[in-house]
Amino acid sequence: MTASRITNIWSKVHYNPNRPVSRVVVESTTSFQFDAKESPSGITLIARGARANMYCETIEVYDGLIEWIRVREQPQGVIFEIKTNHPSPWQIASEPGIPYRTVINFVRDHLFNLFSSKVFVIDAGHGGNDPGGRGPVDLLEKNVTMAMATALQDLLKPLKSQIYLTRAGDYPLSQWMRCNLALKMNADVFISFHTYHSTDTSIQGTAVKYNPRAPGCDYLARFTLEEIVRKIKRPSRGVEPDQQLHHLGFIPGLTVEPVAISNWVEEGLLRNPTLYKKIAQGIFNGLLRFWGEKKGEK
């Protein structure tokens, strides 16, 4: 009997009508026998007798539940280590076809329960006659911040979070009006999107600023910066307080600058819709770490 060949593995968050799951899909030429072993940090799946027709590596996922997937080929078969950041119920199903698919579903109830109770105010910086920075090829900051805000809204919406956008169109708002919406809605967090702009077009990378009046907000900024950098693979420009967020009082608030629009490379990245999804996921992961670690207290 010819051994099953593993041809691909990928992961995606699936929002079904009942409960969201993280799906890990193993594609192969035929079905295979497997052993699955659970641990506090995830599961290990052994495809017995299978061989790998793919590059064996560690695949970064970072979807808020699954951290990474490691693929190794051993004499007994192909081994898949799936690392999760907290224990999660899981089940394995088969989807016959070409390719044959073995699907491991990890339940995301923990994330749903955490985020469904939260109130977010998401701010797209600039607007109207205040365009913000302009890229070398004329991309405007006010437009890309709107795309960032929408991407984060789209990520949070299936988790039933309460979401309020400071602006839904192209018009200006004062900083007080933006922060006042967070106060009015008693927000759990205020997130304002911007990009960095400089006459020095060599400057690039990600920075996150925070409300210095909110206890622990520096931890939130640091976690968010680390997670965005991990998703979009840009240099870090660091964390610093933002006095413009003092209107928020004690509400945690961030000013997120994922890239420098004045940099030729990063303006080009802003033309790819995938970047916005990765930025949103990085912010999500930063919030998860912040709330999961009790605002930085270990």
Both tokens of residue 118?
């939260």
- Note the pLDDT of residue 295: 39
**Helical axes 217-232 vs 273-292, angle rounded to 10°:** 140
How does residue 15 score in pLDDT terms, banded at 50, 70 and 90? confident
Lowest mean pLDDT among 72-81, 125-134, 245-254, 286-295: 286-295
Both tokens of residue 60?
């970064």
Per-residue model confidence as pLDDT tens digits over 147-161: 999 999 999 999 999
Both tokens of residue 142?
């006010």
Pairing state between β 20-28 and 100-107: antiparallel
Per-residue model confidence as pLDDT tens digits over 38-95: 988 999 999 999 999 999 999 999 999 999 999 999 999 999 999 999 899 999 999 9
Beta strands in the chain (DSSP E): 5-15, 20-28, 33-39, 42-48, 51-52, 58-60, 66-74, 77-84, 90-95, 100-107, 119-124, 162-165, 189-193, 206-210, 236-241, 253-257
Interior angle at CA 209, CA 208 and CA 212, nearest 5: 145
- Note the pLDDT of residue 292: 83
How does residue 293 score in pLDDT terms, banded at 50, 70 and 90? low
Q: What percent of the chain has pLDDT over 70?
A: 97
What would the DSSP string read from start to end of 99-114? SEEEEEEEE-HHHHHH
Question: Which has more confidence, 266 or 296?
Answer: 266
Per-residue model confidence as pLDDT tens digits over 211-235: 999 999 999 999 999 999 999 999 9
Per-residue model confidence as pLDDT tens digits over 107-122: 999 898 999 999 999 9
Q: Which residues pair with 130 in a beta bridge?
A: 127
- Note the pLDDT of residue 122: 98
Write the CA distances from 17 to 32, 135, 137, integer angstroms: 30, 41, 42
